Structure 1
Amino acid sequence: MPTVNAKDGCPINYQVEGPAGAPVLMLCNSLGTDLHMWDDQAAEWAKHFRLVRYDRRGHGQSGGPKGPYTMDMLGTDALAVADAAGAKTFNWCGLSMGGMVGQWMGANARDRVGKLVLSNTHYHYADKQPWNDRVKFARDNGLEKMSGPMMERWFTKEFRERSKDAVAKVVKMFNGTKLEGFVGCSEAVRDMDFSKSTPTITAPTMVIVGSKDPATLPEYGQEIAKMIKGAKVTSLDAAHLSNIEQPKAYTETVLNFLKG
């Protein structure tokens, strides 16, 4: 897979598929996953779009320099990928952290963004302590000891029991995340505040929430939708990683919005 160097030299791994002349759709993952998070969607979406997905710094095959990381840094990383892929303009679909970077993109690179999908995400954490606790636990114990509790937040009990292979794939991605990457990204999420910038987004936006999501509560998505003029909200019967728990519904929901 190709790589591009970010502003600070960090290599960012990315992948491009789909017709060369089609509109571009950039995909952005959650914390603790890599570009294969979108494998259930990629084949169908690549029929309609030039698909660009990448590993955020500290994840997958990208570099993982020591932090601190910021949302500005992560946003400019994504723009470096878009530039390398030849995407002057693009649609964006991001889940969790990917939706946070999407909000940054919609507010700071509005001339480049077509339509925005912000999925299972938030715009500001007033209470920083849970993120401080998560960082401390990761540093003290490593990511493998976190994977069990994280899967309980990311998927419903029913899905974990019936789709063990899908969950195991996510556990492997999570455990393969670089510690400094997990910590740096967690701190970027902890410190973000898009309460003033998200209302300036003008791109047509759809917000996806998981009705059973304990990580980014459905009301967080509702609040984001209220902040963006004309934004639509779609609720899926899922926990946090709704594109994996409800792959068909997610694929169709995003495709209908982007092509509508």
Structure 2
Amino acid sequence: MTSQTRTAITTGDGVRIAYRFDGDENKPVLLLSNSIGTDLHMWDGQVAALTEHFRLLRYDARGHGASDVPSGPYSLDRLGRDVVELLDALGLQRVHVLGLSLGGVVAQWLGIHVPERVERLVLSNTAAYLGPANQWDRPIADLLAAPDMRATAEMFLHNWFPAHMLRGDDEVVEGFRRTLLATRREGVAGSWAAVRDYDLRRTATLIHNPTLVIAGEHDTVTSAEHGKELAATVPGAGFTVLPTVHMANVEGQAEFLDAVLAFLTEQS
């Protein structure tokens, strides 16, 4: 297996987007797109299994990780264009896409707006809509007024993982906590604005790439019902419910990988 440390591109609006490859460059590329409050390391536990079949392209969304953190609200269109510009810069015409949470929203955008760049889509723990919009204004304002990310970090962790993983010093949870605490508030607030303003309930019907929707049975962020509704909207989409909270790739890693690999490697 070949691997590469993080490098970066610069988007048309001057934002540096960090990325890295893992795996054999002769294998098909699988792009991984992350949730708010994480960086590309949210997939570390799945890299070994996924690189048996794919060359992985991971990136830090704007506002996160080693990417730049512009101030002000972000839009879903801008987050989607960041991915398109990344693919263009790397000379990649078509890739599989796996996105979780906001990463799954970005993956939906790609299927709607640039379907010719996508082979297969996996939309995990995500939704076509998380409104009404005004419910996001207070959390955004409170976060930007807070002295640090501590309260927000704990809120995210309790939304992402089951209680048994939050007790004690679970090494995986601690890694996510460190990432959250190192994330600048402007990046989370900007991304929340993208969540506030998006609504793909109608346009998701335009997705015609082969699609699998994965939901968490106990997910309180993007519920199993959100996943069911999304799968019913995307023509021909498959639907799988795992016995997890929000971070299905971490909590239910074996079942998650089984579902993802069975879908991405099946013959057309």
Give the TM bin, normalised by the shorter chain: over 0.9
Choose the corresponding residue for 1:235, options 217, 241, 244: 241
The Cα shift of 1:208 comes to: 0.4
Letter in 1 for 2:68: G
Letter in 2 for 1:17: D
Hey, what does 1:246 align to over in structure 2? 252
- RMSD over aligned Cα, in angstroms? 1.2
Hey, what does 2:109 align to over in structure 1? 104
The Cα shift of 1:188 comes to: 0.5
Which ranges of structure 1 fall in alignment gaps of 5 or more residues? none
Choose the corresponding residue for 2:32, options 21, 27, 31: 27
Hey, what does 2:3 align to over in structure 1? none
Hey, what does 1:147 align to over in structure 2? 153
Where do 4+ consecutive residues of structure 1 move more than 4 Å? none
The 1:171–1:130 alpha-carbon spacing in structure 2 relative to 1, beyond 3 Å, is farther
The Cα shift of 1:8 comes to: 0.3
Q: TM-score, normalised by structure 1?
A: 0.97
The Cα shift of 1:143 comes to: 1.6
The Cα shift of 1:162 comes to: 6.9
Q: How many Å separate the matches in 2 of 1:68 and 1:253?
A: 34
Which ranges of structure 2 fall in alignment gaps of 5 or more residues? 1-5
Q: Deviations over 1:204-237 (max 9, x none)?
A: 0000000000011110010000001110111111
Choose the corresponding residue for 2:9, options 4, 11, 20: 4
The Cα shift of 1:126 comes to: 2.8
Q: Percent identity?
A: 37
Aligned length: 260
Q: Deviations over 1:147-200 (max 9, x none)?
A: 112211111112323771111111111112122111111000110011221110
Hey, what does 2:219 align to over in structure 1? 213
Letter in 2 for 1:26: L
Q: How many Å separate the matches in 2 of 1:177 and 1:88?
A: 31
SS in 2 for 1:13: strand
Q: Deviations over 1:51-95 (max 9, x none)?
A: 100000000000001122101100010112222333210000000
Letter in 1 for 2:256: Y
Q: TM-score, normalised by structure 2?
A: 0.94
